[in-house]
Structure 1
Amino acid sequence: MEPPGSTTLVMVGEETTSAIRSLERYANVQAASFSGESDAEVARWSVSTSAPYVVHDHDPLGHVAAAWVEFYDDQSTYGVLELEIERAVEAAERHMISVPDYYVVLHPESLPTTWMHWWLGVLADASPNRVIPWPDADDSLASLLRHLPTGRPWPEVESWLPGVAGSVPDRIGLHGSR
């Protein structure tokens, strides 16, 4: 979905807007904050740029993340989580969504516990070098762009996303557990 030469970063956390604004002035960065836009609208915006870096705050797995957090916080049912996973897998198979190259988790220590387990546990378990905890939403993000870690790309969504329903907070990432 993204332009072939672009590296896509999705910012998550309380200070995403200021993080995105801190990168807008760089010529090699196309940055925007989205609120309420559909996956298709964000995809159209993303492919319209030739910038080396595409930075935004629209998580294509946001519905799955919210359903996972709500399930483990006893605010929703397992059926809702399964439905959101199924929808995301179908969208990925139809190339309607794609996981960004990197998730940058701003101030992870300030996130509610279950959200922290989602970002730094569930997602990082799927591709450890592709989820980056970051302490600040300021100009230091520009240096992050220059030193992004390398590693294997994300596995295909359909190979790992169905298993996240069984990824228990406080257990994910522990040897032999899910």
Structure 2
Amino acid sequence: MVQPNGTVITLVAGDAQTVEDLLEKLERRHLHNVDAVSLRSGDARDATPRLLSSHATYIVSDADPLEHVAAAWVEFFDSRSTLGTLEIEVERAVEQLESGVVVMPDYYLLLDPVGLEGTWRHWWLGVLPAQSRNRVLPTPASVDRVNRLLSRLPSGRAWPRPARWLRTLERTVPDRAGLESGSMSGLTEMGSSD
């Protein structure tokens, strides 16, 4: 499987407009070694060639290969969808990630997490950080804060193989997600001064 040349960072937020606005600001700022690009308009598979062609140190985008899995998980636990829907989305994501059709970001930057509601909060601050705590980083939606965070991304273990943990999502209860790993501790660091 071919990997991108740089560090892939996906911006996520409670609303798409926050991500779109920040990506636009990052593109206008022309930060050194940062390739900021919106890949939202197409299929997630269309993002991979763009991510692979960048030679920047940091490739910042809105391409989330787990977007449909996250939505299916949230809807399942909010009783708005079925287990079958979650299973289909999980299998699709596992297949695409393992074949290299889509790329798992090295980091997710969670913009303004205080505004996350309900089960989405558990996905972003529990489920994902439980897999690799230093890979989901809460931050205010500001170009300066994101730029500062890029210059000092924490190291940590890589994401585990997707099949191993994605296939257990139906047993990952929102109120318990990530509690064993202390994954929500990053939220207290968000407001600290640098």
TM-score by length of 2: 0.85
Structure 2 residue corresponding to 1:157, chosen from 140, 155, 162:
162
Q: How many residues align?
A: 175
**1:16-165 equivalences in 2 (<5 Å):** 16-24=19-27, 25-165=30-170
The aligned counterpart of 1:11 is: 11
Following TM superposition, by how much is the alpha carbon of 1:99 offset from its aligned partner in structure 2, in angstroms?
A: 1.3
3-state SS of paired residue (1:139): helix
Unpaired segments ≥5 residues, structure 1: none
Percent of paired sites with the same residue: 45
- Give the superposed CA RMSD: 1.5
Q: Mind listing any 5+ residue stretches in structure 2 that lack a counterpart?
A: 182-194
CA shift, 1:23, in A, is: 2.4
| More helix per residue | 2
TM-fit CA distance, 1:46: 0.8
Distance in 2, Cα, partners of 1:174 & 1:48: 38
Query: SS of 2:45's equivalent?
Result: helix
After superposing on structure 2, the runs of 4+ consecutive aligned residues of structure 1 that deviate more than 3 Å are none
The Cα shift of 1:47 comes to 1.1
Q: Match for 2:176: what amino acid?
A: R
Question: Secondary structure of the residue that 1:170 maps to in structure 2?
Answer: helix
Contact 2:9 2:109 in 1 (8 A): yes
What is the TM-score with the length of structure 1 in the denominator? 0.92
